[in-house]
Amino acid sequence: MRPAHRARRAHPRHRPSRPPSLPRTPPYRPRTEPSRRGARPPPPPPRMPGQGGASPTTEGLPMPHTPDSSASRRRVVITGAGVVTAIGTTVEELWTSLVAGRSGIGPITAFDASDLPTRIAAEVVDFDPLCYMSRRESRRMDHFGRYAVAAAVQAMEQSGLKTTDENGRRLGVFIGSGYGANIAGIAAVERMLERGPKSINANYAIGGAPDNPASEVAMRFGAEGPTGAIITACATGTTCVGEAVHMIRAGRADAVIAGGADDPITRLDVAAMANLRALSRRNDEPQRASRPFDRARDGFVFGAGAGIVVVEEAEHALRRGAPILAEVVGYGATTDAYHSTAPHPEGLGARRALASALQDAGLRPSDVDYVNAHGTSTVLNDRTEVETIRSVFGEHATRIPISSIKSMIGHLIAGAGTVELIATLQAMAHGVVPPTLNCDDPEDTELNFVPNTPQEHTVRTAVSNSFGFGGHNAVLAVRRWEG
């Protein structure tokens, strides 16, 4: 095993060529998501040629390009998983809490939130970073970096992947963060204003970067393949896994450590998101605040944590006798190009992403046994996701369970998609679907949102949805490994 740290010559920087000028667009007038149910959403933009008819269906919609789905392409599997969440800092703890219907949402303790409109969150409180790293390593990272490294260590231990000089060059890392080192950044600004610039810890120059977790994980495991931070807001974790799958299919890596991490629970970020009226204000009943697909929902709840998986070329995994948790058979990614906070009112981008993932996997809608929903508990997002699922799955949507674990772990932003993917793998392994807490009066009474209690259900094939701010949409399709 080679040392994790080795001096490297810096890669020269290249100035990108100037892009061609683009046609002017009409002035953008931002609007926030309406806070009251039934409020009128922003009007859709004009349809472009080839964008399909007015009917909310995937028929006629241009599908995003997907890689060759022929049998000859490299198959990709998941061989390890790790998490840090408010209800469990290992996969086993998380799953036990999910099937028990345990909520990790409570009053904020990290700072004084008494004057904020929202005073609740799903904080990570039972976590010791020194179980995964040295004190010196921990000091140079913010919370999100520590969560990412801890989850990556768990995932690599389960995978059993050992790096050498030879295979390290074929190991990549894609870990993204939506908020980055916001906690350390806010503290640094306050310290500098009070004590001056010399008071700032030099570690912030590196540890404050969104790509810091990818760098730390690469150094720890000697990953010398493609690395970086792909950031697509709330879809970040799913996007990182999906792009890792593409990287392996293209032959540019044999394995990739992929996922997302965030800790958005700061006074600044809670105030800003609450003022956007995106957060729930059920401060007096925090465990009932996140209620995806329930008619009384009033916003999401911030959560902290990380989810990391090891994705690997199937033959590579089989040769070394690795545990195979599932096969990633499809990935779809699109952008609404519509609004910074509200989904497209007809869900065009989300529908294309979901349909694209099925197309990439060679699946019919009737092949899917479970939908792990994005389900944020906001008025517009949940309504649009219901319409998306209805549109793509048709009548089959009424026959399969659909659930959102954000009702228990909160919204982890960049970490959400990968943690939810890992919960999907657990549902597949145990034949049990986790519940959607607080879904007492469902938005659509014909759909099975698995309200409040887990359900036994055989899951061979599933999809996991992630739809982020900025119109970023990403969907993964996974299937039980059967060789």
pLDDT digits (tens, 9 = 90+) for 380-422: 999 999 999 999 999 999 999 999 999 999 999 999 999 999 9
| Residues 97 and 408: beta-carbon distance below 8 Å | yes
- Domain edges within the chain: 76-479
The shares of helix, strand and coil residues in the chain, as percent rounded to the nearest 5, are 35, 20, 45
Is pLDDT at 35 greater than 50 in this prediction?
no
Active site residues: 234, 374, 411
Q: Tell me the C-alpha distance between 306 and 145, whole Å.
A: 9
Is pLDDT at 249 greater than 70 in this prediction?
yes
pLDDT computed for residue 421 by the predictor: 99
Quick: pLDDT tens for 152-195: 999 999 999 999 988 999 999 999 999 988 888 888 888 889 99
pLDDT computed for residue 306 by the predictor: 99
Output the CA angle 322-326-330, nearest 5 degrees: 130
Is pLDDT at 480 greater than 70 in this prediction?
yes
Is pLDDT at 222 greater than 60 in this prediction?
yes
Quick: pLDDT tens for 253-288: 999 999 999 999 999 999 999 999 999 999 999 999
Residue for token pair 């700072």? 111
pTM of the model: 0.86
Superfamily classification of domain 76-479:
Thiolase/Chalcone synthase (3.40.47.10)
**Of residues 26 and 142, which shows the higher confidence score?**
142
pLDDT computed for residue 469 by the predictor: 94
Mark out the alpha helices in 362-481 (DSSP H runs): 379-393, 406-409, 416-430
Is pLDDT at 88 greater than 90 in this prediction?
yes
SS3 27: coil
pLDDT computed for residue 72 by the predictor: 73
**Of residues 332 and 342, which shows the higher confidence score?**
332
Is pLDDT at 41 greater than 90 in this prediction?
no
- For residue 195, what are the contacts with CB-CB under 8 A and spacing of at least 6? none
Quick: pLDDT tens for 7-26: 333 333 333 343 344 344 34
| Cβ atoms within 10 Å of 123's Cβ, excluding its own | 22
